[in-house]
Amino acid sequence: MDDAWKLESGASIQNLIKLSKKEFEESDFDKILERIILYYKNHFKTVDFIAELKYYSEEMGGRKTQAISGYRPQIKFKFTEMKTSGQQTFIDKKVVNPGENVKAKIKISSTEFYTEQLDEGMEFEFCEGETIIGTGAIEYIVNKKLEKVSS
């Protein structure tokens, strides 16, 4: 998969092992591994897909200020007029400036509407009201219920 995910998962595993040893006095690797698996099972319930985001510069009509990880603009896919809230959790960054690109974990509202509607590579816009402030492209679908069924 993507290098950002390898780095993030490796760092997370190291942190969980250290935390298990320090906080829970747990040094049994199998038990630590069980905690890690449980953590990721719970964590991925909060991610629908991974995307590359391009924030427009202010000159292109984008934001005037930074976006902070956890930001929730509206997302619009080309196949529908419906918009949904899409929380962006940035990978390896805390803030993104206008004009920058970032990889992000996206959690959308109304997942039932998007069941079997999304593809890897699919592009979308993200907006504040009617103002489009950037575009994104799906790199990996985590929530397989959203993945378009091949015919």
For the stretch 130-151, pLDDT in tens is: 999 999 999 999 999 999 987 5
Give the helix/strand (H/E) hosting 13.
Answer: helix 3-23
Ordered by start, the domain boundaries in the chain are 3-44, 47-146
Per-residue pLDDT of the chain (151 residues), as tens digits, is: 455 556 666 667 677 677 777 777 766 767 777 777 777 666 556 799 999 999 999 999 999 999 999 999 999 999 999 999 999 999 989 999 999 999 999 999 888 899 999 999 999 999 999 999 999 999 999 999 999 987 5
Which segments of 24-129 does DSSP mark as H helices, in order? 29-43
Overall fold of domain 47-146: Elongation Factor Tu (Ef-tu); domain 3 (2.40.30)
